Structure 1
Amino acid sequence: MPIDRHIVLFDLFGVIARHQRPGALARMAARCHAPTAAFTTAYWACRPPYDAGRQSAPEYWTAVLRSLSVDADADTIEELRLADIDSWSRVDNRMVAYAQSLRAVTEVALLSNIPSDHADAFLAAQPWLHTLDHVAFSGKIKAAKPSPAAFHHCAIAMRAAPADFLFVDDREENVRAAQAVGMNGHVFTDRDELAAAIDTWLPTRRPTWK
Protein backbone atom coordinates (compact mmCIF):
# COMPACT_ATOMS: atom_id res chain seq x y z
CA MET A 1 0.00 0.00 0.00
CA PRO A 2 1.41 3.44 -0.89
CA ILE A 3 2.38 5.65 2.02
CA ASP A 4 1.81 9.37 2.56
CA ARG A 5 -1.22 9.43 0.32
CA HIS A 6 -3.52 12.41 0.20
CA ILE A 7 -7.02 11.90 -1.17
CA VAL A 8 -9.61 14.66 -1.33
CA LEU A 9 -12.98 12.93 -1.02
CA PHE A 10 -15.77 15.21 -2.18
CA ASP A 11 -19.46 15.12 -1.46
CA LEU A 12 -21.48 15.89 -4.59
CA PHE A 13 -24.66 17.88 -3.89
CA GLY A 14 -24.07 21.19 -2.17
CA VAL A 15 -20.36 21.06 -3.02
CA ILE A 16 -19.68 20.22 -6.66
CA ALA A 17 -23.29 19.84 -7.76
CA ARG A 18 -26.10 22.16 -6.85
CA HIS A 19 -28.95 21.31 -4.52
CA GLN A 20 -32.37 20.41 -5.87
CA ARG A 21 -33.94 22.91 -8.26
CA PRO A 22 -36.14 25.45 -6.45
CA GLY A 23 -39.82 24.62 -6.88
CA ALA A 24 -39.16 21.05 -8.03
CA LEU A 25 -41.02 19.41 -5.17
CA ALA A 26 -44.01 21.71 -5.66
CA ARG A 27 -44.17 20.76 -9.34
CA MET A 28 -43.95 17.05 -8.51
CA ALA A 29 -46.65 17.48 -5.86
CA ALA A 30 -48.92 19.16 -8.41
CA ARG A 31 -48.36 16.27 -10.83
CA CYS A 32 -49.91 13.85 -8.34
CA HIS A 33 -52.49 16.36 -7.01
CA ALA A 34 -51.02 16.43 -3.50
CA PRO A 35 -50.32 19.37 -1.18
CA THR A 36 -46.70 20.47 -1.44
CA ALA A 37 -46.03 20.18 2.30
CA ALA A 38 -47.41 16.65 2.52
CA PHE A 39 -45.57 15.60 -0.64
CA THR A 40 -42.30 17.02 0.66
CA THR A 41 -42.67 15.16 3.96
CA ALA A 42 -43.36 11.86 2.19
CA TYR A 43 -40.57 12.45 -0.36
CA TRP A 44 -37.92 12.76 2.35
CA ALA A 45 -39.37 10.28 4.86
CA CYS A 46 -39.31 7.49 2.27
CA ARG A 47 -35.90 8.42 0.85
CA PRO A 48 -33.29 6.58 2.99
CA PRO A 49 -33.83 3.05 1.59
CA TYR A 50 -33.84 4.43 -1.96
CA ASP A 51 -30.61 6.38 -1.41
CA ALA A 52 -28.97 3.32 0.14
CA GLY A 53 -29.87 0.99 -2.73
CA ARG A 54 -32.37 -1.06 -0.75
CA GLN A 55 -35.31 0.03 -2.91
CA SER A 56 -35.78 0.47 -6.64
CA ALA A 57 -37.21 3.68 -8.05
CA PRO A 58 -40.69 2.15 -8.55
CA GLU A 59 -40.66 0.84 -4.98
CA TYR A 60 -39.66 4.25 -3.62
CA TRP A 61 -42.28 6.17 -5.59
CA THR A 62 -44.96 3.63 -4.74
CA ALA A 63 -44.17 4.18 -1.06
CA VAL A 64 -44.35 7.97 -1.49
CA LEU A 65 -47.64 7.90 -3.36
CA ARG A 66 -49.27 5.38 -1.05
CA SER A 67 -48.37 7.51 1.96
CA LEU A 68 -50.29 10.32 0.22
CA SER A 69 -53.22 8.02 -0.68
CA VAL A 70 -52.50 8.59 -4.37
CA ASP A 71 -52.77 5.83 -6.96
CA ALA A 72 -49.28 4.59 -7.85
CA ASP A 73 -49.78 3.92 -11.56
CA ALA A 74 -46.75 3.25 -13.76
CA ASP A 75 -47.06 6.45 -15.83
CA THR A 76 -47.17 8.69 -12.76
CA ILE A 77 -44.23 6.88 -11.19
CA GLU A 78 -42.10 7.26 -14.31
CA GLU A 79 -42.96 10.95 -14.71
CA LEU A 80 -42.05 11.61 -11.09
CA ARG A 81 -38.84 9.57 -11.39
CA LEU A 82 -37.66 11.55 -14.42
CA ALA A 83 -38.66 14.87 -12.87
CA ASP A 84 -36.76 13.95 -9.72
CA ILE A 85 -33.60 13.07 -11.65
CA ASP A 86 -33.80 16.35 -13.57
CA SER A 87 -34.26 18.31 -10.33
CA TRP A 88 -30.85 17.11 -9.10
CA SER A 89 -28.96 17.47 -12.41
CA ARG A 90 -27.20 20.82 -12.07
CA VAL A 91 -23.49 21.23 -11.34
CA ASP A 92 -21.32 24.18 -10.33
CA ASN A 93 -18.96 24.30 -13.32
CA ARG A 94 -16.30 26.24 -11.43
CA MET A 95 -16.26 23.62 -8.67
CA VAL A 96 -16.03 20.89 -11.30
CA ALA A 97 -13.01 22.65 -12.77
CA TYR A 98 -11.45 23.09 -9.33
CA ALA A 99 -11.90 19.44 -8.40
CA GLN A 100 -10.35 18.39 -11.69
CA SER A 101 -7.43 20.78 -11.22
CA LEU A 102 -6.58 19.13 -7.89
CA ARG A 103 -5.73 15.90 -9.69
CA ALA A 104 -2.42 17.52 -10.70
CA VAL A 105 -1.29 17.35 -7.07
CA THR A 106 -3.41 14.74 -5.30
CA GLU A 107 -5.94 11.95 -5.71
CA VAL A 108 -9.55 13.04 -5.99
CA ALA A 109 -12.59 10.89 -5.23
CA LEU A 110 -16.30 11.36 -4.66
CA LEU A 111 -18.83 9.95 -2.19
CA SER A 112 -22.45 10.92 -2.71
CA ASN A 113 -25.84 9.93 -1.36
CA ILE A 114 -27.71 9.33 -4.59
CA PRO A 115 -30.06 6.56 -5.77
CA SER A 116 -28.76 4.11 -8.33
CA ASP A 117 -30.87 5.38 -11.25
CA HIS A 118 -29.90 8.98 -10.47
CA ALA A 119 -26.27 7.88 -10.42
CA ASP A 120 -26.58 6.31 -13.86
CA ALA A 121 -28.05 9.54 -15.25
CA PHE A 122 -25.35 11.65 -13.60
CA LEU A 123 -22.55 9.45 -14.93
CA ALA A 124 -23.99 9.68 -18.45
CA ALA A 125 -24.42 13.48 -18.32
CA GLN A 126 -21.18 14.38 -16.52
CA PRO A 127 -18.16 12.73 -18.20
CA TRP A 128 -15.73 14.44 -15.81
CA LEU A 129 -16.83 11.93 -13.15
CA HIS A 130 -15.00 9.23 -15.09
CA THR A 131 -11.71 11.12 -14.68
CA LEU A 132 -11.74 10.88 -10.86
CA ASP A 133 -9.74 8.28 -8.97
CA HIS A 134 -12.84 6.74 -7.43
CA VAL A 135 -16.57 7.47 -7.45
CA ALA A 136 -18.88 5.97 -4.83
CA PHE A 137 -22.64 6.44 -5.09
CA SER A 138 -24.73 5.26 -2.15
CA GLY A 139 -27.28 3.52 -4.34
CA LYS A 140 -24.48 1.50 -5.94
CA ILE A 141 -22.43 0.67 -2.84
CA LYS A 142 -25.52 -0.03 -0.67
CA ALA A 143 -24.43 2.38 2.06
CA ALA A 144 -25.32 6.03 2.59
CA LYS A 145 -23.68 8.75 4.66
CA PRO A 146 -23.44 9.16 7.59
CA SER A 147 -23.14 5.38 7.95
CA PRO A 148 -19.53 4.38 8.63
CA ALA A 149 -19.91 1.74 5.91
CA ALA A 150 -19.96 4.45 3.24
CA PHE A 151 -16.60 5.83 4.35
CA HIS A 152 -15.08 2.39 4.87
CA HIS A 153 -16.08 1.50 1.31
CA CYS A 154 -13.94 4.35 -0.04
CA ALA A 155 -10.93 3.40 2.06
CA ILE A 156 -11.15 -0.24 1.04
CA ALA A 157 -11.81 0.50 -2.63
CA MET A 158 -8.84 2.86 -2.82
CA ARG A 159 -6.60 0.65 -0.66
CA ALA A 160 -5.96 3.60 1.61
CA ALA A 161 -6.09 4.34 5.32
CA PRO A 162 -8.86 6.61 6.60
CA ALA A 163 -6.22 9.15 7.66
CA ASP A 164 -5.22 9.53 3.99
CA PHE A 165 -8.53 11.26 3.23
CA LEU A 166 -9.81 14.80 3.55
CA PHE A 167 -13.59 14.48 3.32
CA VAL A 168 -15.45 17.59 2.13
CA ASP A 169 -19.21 17.87 2.68
CA ASP A 170 -21.64 20.73 3.25
CA ARG A 171 -23.38 18.82 6.06
CA GLU A 172 -21.61 18.87 9.41
CA GLU A 173 -23.09 15.55 10.53
CA ASN A 174 -21.49 13.81 7.55
CA VAL A 175 -18.12 15.41 8.24
CA ARG A 176 -18.32 14.34 11.89
CA ALA A 177 -19.12 10.79 10.77
CA ALA A 178 -16.07 10.76 8.49
CA GLN A 179 -13.89 12.03 11.32
CA ALA A 180 -15.26 9.30 13.60
CA VAL A 181 -13.80 6.63 11.27
CA GLY A 182 -10.43 8.40 11.17
CA MET A 183 -10.70 10.68 8.15
CA ASN A 184 -9.86 14.35 8.10
CA GLY A 185 -12.89 16.54 7.50
CA HIS A 186 -13.90 19.95 6.20
CA VAL A 187 -17.39 21.47 6.26
CA PHE A 188 -17.85 23.15 2.89
CA THR A 189 -19.15 26.72 2.79
CA ASP A 190 -17.46 28.18 -0.28
CA ARG A 191 -14.68 27.44 -2.72
CA ASP A 192 -12.16 29.97 -1.39
CA GLU A 193 -12.37 28.61 2.16
CA LEU A 194 -12.06 25.06 0.83
CA ALA A 195 -9.04 25.93 -1.31
CA ALA A 196 -7.30 27.43 1.73
CA ALA A 197 -8.05 24.31 3.78
CA ILE A 198 -6.72 22.03 1.04
CA ASP A 199 -3.62 24.22 0.67
CA THR A 200 -2.91 23.69 4.35
CA TRP A 201 -3.61 19.96 4.26
CA LEU A 202 -1.65 19.04 1.13
CA PRO A 203 2.13 18.65 1.37
CA THR A 204 2.50 20.22 -2.08
CA ARG A 205 1.14 23.40 -3.53
CA ARG A 206 -2.20 23.10 -5.27
CA PRO A 207 -2.54 24.17 -8.93
CA THR A 208 -3.53 27.70 -9.86
CA TRP A 209 -7.24 28.05 -10.62
CA LYS A 210 -9.55 30.85 -11.65
Structure 2
Amino acid sequence: MADTVLFDLFGVIARKQSSSGQELLVTTAAVSASVFWESYWALRMPYDRGEVTGFEYWRQVAAALRTTIDDNQIARLIDADIASWSAVDDDMVTLVEQTAASGRRVALLSNIPEELAVHYEEHHRWLQHFDVVAFSCRIGHAKPEPDAYRWCCRALDLAPGRILFVDDRAENVQAAEAIGMPGHLFIGLTQARQAITEPDMALRR
Protein backbone atom coordinates (compact mmCIF):
# COMPACT_ATOMS: atom_id res chain seq x y z
CA MET A 1 0.00 0.00 0.00
CA ALA A 2 1.29 3.47 -0.88
CA ASP A 3 2.35 5.57 2.12
CA THR A 4 0.71 8.72 0.82
CA VAL A 5 -2.37 9.57 -1.23
CA LEU A 6 -1.96 12.49 -3.63
CA PHE A 7 -5.37 13.87 -4.54
CA ASP A 8 -6.46 16.01 -7.45
CA LEU A 9 -8.86 18.82 -6.47
CA PHE A 10 -11.36 19.62 -9.24
CA GLY A 11 -13.43 16.66 -10.35
CA VAL A 12 -12.37 14.69 -7.27
CA ILE A 13 -12.73 16.65 -4.01
CA ALA A 14 -14.22 19.77 -5.56
CA ARG A 15 -16.93 19.65 -8.16
CA LYS A 16 -16.29 20.31 -11.82
CA GLN A 17 -17.11 23.76 -13.15
CA SER A 18 -20.83 24.41 -12.66
CA SER A 19 -23.14 24.98 -15.62
CA SER A 20 -24.63 28.05 -13.95
CA GLY A 21 -21.12 29.42 -13.44
CA GLN A 22 -20.28 28.77 -17.06
CA GLU A 23 -23.37 30.65 -18.17
CA LEU A 24 -22.48 33.61 -15.95
CA LEU A 25 -18.96 33.76 -17.39
CA VAL A 26 -20.24 33.82 -20.96
CA THR A 27 -22.85 36.45 -20.09
CA THR A 28 -20.25 38.62 -18.34
CA ALA A 29 -17.87 38.36 -21.28
CA ALA A 30 -20.74 39.27 -23.63
CA VAL A 31 -19.64 36.92 -26.43
CA SER A 32 -20.90 33.63 -27.83
CA ALA A 33 -20.23 30.51 -25.78
CA SER A 34 -18.41 28.68 -28.58
CA VAL A 35 -15.71 31.30 -29.09
CA PHE A 36 -15.50 32.08 -25.37
CA TRP A 37 -14.56 28.56 -24.27
CA GLU A 38 -12.01 28.09 -27.03
CA SER A 39 -10.06 31.12 -25.79
CA TYR A 40 -10.71 30.41 -22.10
CA TRP A 41 -9.02 27.01 -22.27
CA ALA A 42 -6.39 27.79 -24.91
CA LEU A 43 -4.88 30.49 -22.68
CA ARG A 44 -5.47 28.84 -19.32
CA MET A 45 -2.21 26.95 -18.70
CA PRO A 46 0.05 29.98 -18.12
CA TYR A 47 -2.59 31.35 -15.73
CA ASP A 48 -2.70 28.04 -13.86
CA ARG A 49 1.12 28.03 -13.66
CA GLY A 50 1.13 31.51 -12.13
CA GLU A 51 2.93 33.04 -15.09
CA VAL A 52 0.22 35.69 -15.58
CA THR A 53 -2.19 37.39 -13.18
CA GLY A 54 -5.94 37.18 -13.41
CA PHE A 55 -6.14 40.60 -15.02
CA GLU A 56 -3.46 39.66 -17.56
CA TYR A 57 -5.20 36.39 -18.35
CA TRP A 58 -8.57 38.00 -18.98
CA ARG A 59 -7.00 40.73 -21.13
CA GLN A 60 -5.43 37.95 -23.23
CA VAL A 61 -8.81 36.22 -23.50
CA ALA A 62 -10.41 39.49 -24.59
CA ALA A 63 -7.72 40.03 -27.22
CA ALA A 64 -8.25 36.50 -28.54
CA LEU A 65 -11.98 37.20 -28.70
CA ARG A 66 -11.31 40.50 -30.48
CA THR A 67 -13.22 42.43 -27.87
CA THR A 68 -12.36 44.91 -25.15
CA ILE A 69 -13.09 44.65 -21.44
CA ASP A 70 -12.47 47.21 -18.71
CA ASP A 71 -11.07 46.58 -15.24
CA ASN A 72 -14.53 46.39 -13.69
CA GLN A 73 -15.58 43.71 -16.16
CA ILE A 74 -12.36 41.78 -15.53
CA ALA A 75 -13.02 41.87 -11.78
CA ARG A 76 -16.50 40.46 -12.40
CA LEU A 77 -15.05 37.74 -14.64
CA ILE A 78 -12.55 36.75 -11.95
CA ASP A 79 -15.33 36.58 -9.35
CA ALA A 80 -17.55 34.56 -11.70
CA ASP A 81 -14.67 32.20 -12.49
CA ILE A 82 -14.01 31.59 -8.79
CA ALA A 83 -17.70 30.97 -8.12
CA SER A 84 -17.93 28.49 -10.99
CA TRP A 85 -15.26 26.27 -9.40
CA SER A 86 -16.27 26.68 -5.74
CA ALA A 87 -18.59 23.70 -5.06
CA VAL A 88 -17.12 20.86 -2.99
CA ASP A 89 -18.09 17.18 -2.61
CA ASP A 90 -18.55 16.82 1.16
CA ASP A 91 -18.32 13.02 0.97
CA MET A 92 -14.88 13.28 -0.62
CA VAL A 93 -13.79 15.79 2.02
CA THR A 94 -14.82 13.20 4.60
CA LEU A 95 -12.74 10.54 2.81
CA VAL A 96 -9.71 12.83 2.92
CA GLU A 97 -10.26 13.42 6.64
CA GLN A 98 -10.69 9.70 7.30
CA THR A 99 -7.56 8.86 5.34
CA ALA A 100 -5.54 11.41 7.31
CA ALA A 101 -7.01 10.17 10.60
CA SER A 102 -5.98 6.60 9.73
CA GLY A 103 -2.34 7.66 9.80
CA ARG A 104 -1.82 7.86 6.04
CA ARG A 105 -0.31 11.04 4.69
CA VAL A 106 -2.42 13.00 2.23
CA ALA A 107 -1.33 15.61 -0.30
CA LEU A 108 -2.99 17.73 -2.95
CA LEU A 109 -1.94 18.54 -6.53
CA SER A 110 -4.19 20.93 -8.43
CA ASN A 111 -4.09 23.00 -11.60
CA ILE A 112 -5.41 26.23 -10.16
CA PRO A 113 -4.78 29.97 -10.63
CA GLU A 114 -3.75 32.19 -7.74
CA GLU A 115 -7.11 33.90 -7.19
CA LEU A 116 -8.89 30.57 -6.90
CA ALA A 117 -6.17 29.13 -4.67
CA VAL A 118 -6.60 32.05 -2.27
CA HIS A 119 -10.37 31.46 -2.24
CA TYR A 120 -9.90 27.83 -1.24
CA GLU A 121 -7.39 28.72 1.46
CA GLU A 122 -9.78 31.27 2.92
CA HIS A 123 -12.93 29.14 2.81
CA HIS A 124 -11.92 25.50 3.26
CA ARG A 125 -10.29 24.57 6.55
CA TRP A 126 -10.01 20.92 5.49
CA LEU A 127 -6.93 21.91 3.50
CA GLN A 128 -5.08 21.69 6.82
CA HIS A 129 -5.23 17.88 6.58
CA PHE A 130 -2.79 17.86 3.65
CA ASP A 131 0.90 17.44 4.39
CA VAL A 132 1.67 19.08 1.05
CA VAL A 133 -0.55 21.38 -1.00
CA ALA A 134 0.84 21.74 -4.51
CA PHE A 135 -1.07 24.46 -6.34
CA SER A 136 0.20 24.83 -9.90
CA CYS A 137 0.26 28.62 -9.59
CA ARG A 138 2.71 28.28 -6.68
CA ILE A 139 4.97 25.47 -7.93
CA GLY A 140 5.29 26.64 -11.55
CA HIS A 141 4.23 23.29 -13.03
CA ALA A 142 0.83 21.99 -14.10
CA LYS A 143 -0.49 18.49 -14.78
CA PRO A 144 0.20 16.51 -16.88
CA GLU A 145 3.73 17.94 -16.93
CA PRO A 146 6.09 15.41 -15.29
CA ASP A 147 7.70 18.10 -13.15
CA ALA A 148 4.40 18.68 -11.35
CA TYR A 149 4.53 15.13 -9.99
CA ARG A 150 8.26 15.26 -9.34
CA TRP A 151 7.77 18.45 -7.32
CA CYS A 152 5.34 16.56 -5.09
CA CYS A 153 7.79 13.68 -4.64
CA ARG A 154 10.48 16.09 -3.51
CA ALA A 155 8.13 17.97 -1.19
CA LEU A 156 6.95 14.70 0.38
CA ASP A 157 10.49 13.26 0.38
CA LEU A 158 9.14 10.02 -1.11
CA ALA A 159 9.89 7.86 -4.12
CA PRO A 160 7.08 7.92 -6.72
CA GLY A 161 6.14 4.31 -6.03
CA ARG A 162 5.11 5.20 -2.47
CA ILE A 163 2.50 7.76 -3.61
CA LEU A 164 -0.96 6.84 -4.89
CA PHE A 165 -2.24 9.52 -7.28
CA VAL A 166 -6.01 10.04 -7.65
CA ASP A 167 -7.32 12.14 -10.54
CA ASP A 168 -10.40 12.22 -12.76
CA ARG A 169 -8.50 12.80 -16.01
CA ALA A 170 -6.85 9.81 -17.70
CA GLU A 171 -3.99 11.87 -19.15
CA ASN A 172 -3.06 13.09 -15.67
CA VAL A 173 -3.11 9.59 -14.21
CA GLN A 174 -1.04 8.26 -17.12
CA ALA A 175 1.54 11.02 -16.63
CA ALA A 176 1.85 10.12 -12.95
CA GLU A 177 2.23 6.44 -13.77
CA ALA A 178 4.92 7.32 -16.33
CA ILE A 179 7.20 8.54 -13.51
CA GLY A 180 6.41 5.52 -11.32
CA MET A 181 3.40 6.57 -9.25
CA PRO A 182 0.56 4.07 -8.93
CA GLY A 183 -2.55 5.81 -10.22
CA HIS A 184 -6.29 5.62 -9.76
CA LEU A 185 -8.68 7.10 -12.31
CA PHE A 186 -11.42 8.67 -10.21
CA ILE A 187 -15.00 7.78 -11.14
CA GLY A 188 -16.62 8.01 -7.73
CA LEU A 189 -16.34 7.76 -3.96
CA THR A 190 -16.74 3.98 -3.67
CA GLN A 191 -13.97 3.14 -6.11
CA ALA A 192 -11.68 5.81 -4.65
CA ARG A 193 -12.16 4.43 -1.15
CA GLN A 194 -11.27 0.95 -2.40
CA ALA A 195 -8.16 2.20 -4.20
CA ILE A 196 -6.99 3.95 -1.05
CA THR A 197 -7.70 1.12 1.38
CA GLU A 198 -6.96 -1.99 -0.72
CA PRO A 199 -3.35 -2.30 -1.99
CA ASP A 200 -4.17 -4.08 -5.25
CA MET A 201 -6.95 -1.67 -6.24
CA ALA A 202 -4.76 1.30 -7.12
CA LEU A 203 -3.92 0.20 -10.64
CA ARG A 204 -7.42 -0.94 -11.55
CA ARG A 205 -9.70 1.08 -13.78
* TM, length-normalised to structure 2: 0.93
Distance 2:44 2:122 in 1: 23
Identity %: 42
C-alpha distance in 2, partners of 1:190/1:171?
13
Deviation at 1:200, TM superposition (A): 1.6
The offset of 1:5, in angstroms, is 6.2
Choose the corresponding residue for 2:77, options 77, 80, 98: 80
In the aligned structure 1, how far is the partner of 2:54 from the partner of 2:171? Answer: 26
Matched, 1:18 2:27: no
Aligned residues: 199
**Bigger Cα displacement from structure 2, 13-22 vs 64-73:** 64-73
| SS at structure 2 position matched to 1:18 | coil
Mapped to 2, the partners of 1:184 and 1:98 lie a distance apart of 19
Offset from partner CA, 1:84-126 (integer Å, 9 cap, x none): 0111011000100111100123111110010111101111110
Q: 1:42 aligns with which of 3, 15, 39?
A: 39
What is the one-letter code of the residue matched to 1:98? L
> What is the correspondence of 1:126-141 to structure 2 with a 5 Å cutoff?
126-141=124-139
**Contact 1:25 / 1:39 at 8 angstroms: preserved in 2?**
no
Task: Tell me, yes or no, if the aligned pair for 1:62 and 1:72 is still in contact at 8 Å.
Answer: yes
Match of 1:55 among 46, 52, 57: 52
RMSD (Å), alpha carbons = 1.4
Deviation beyond 4 Å, 4+ runs, structure 1: none
CA distance in 2 between counterparts of 1:27 and 1:125 reads 22
Aligned position for 1:94: 91
Report deviation, 1:9: 0.3
| 2:3 aligned residue | 6
Q: For residues 70 and 130 of structure 1, do their structure 2 counterparts lie closer, same or farther at Cα, with a shift above 3 Å needed?
A: same
**Whole-angstrom CA distance in 1 between matches of 2:66 and 2:22:** 17
Asked if the contact 1:65–1:72 (Cα under 8 Å) also holds between the matched residues in 2, the reply is yes
Structure 2: 5+ residue runs without aligned partners? 201-205
Instruction: Give runs of aligned pairs for residues 55-204 of structure 1, distance below 5 A.
Output: 55-103=52-100, 104-201=102-199
More deviation, 50-59/192-201: 192-201
Q: For 1:24-76, what per-residue CA distance to the aligned partner results, in whole angstroms no more than 9, with x for missing partners?
A: 22222222220111111111111011011111111100011111122131111
Q: Distance in 1 between matches of 2:2 and 2:21?
A: 41
Q: Is the 8 A contact 2:2 2:199 kept in 1?
A: no
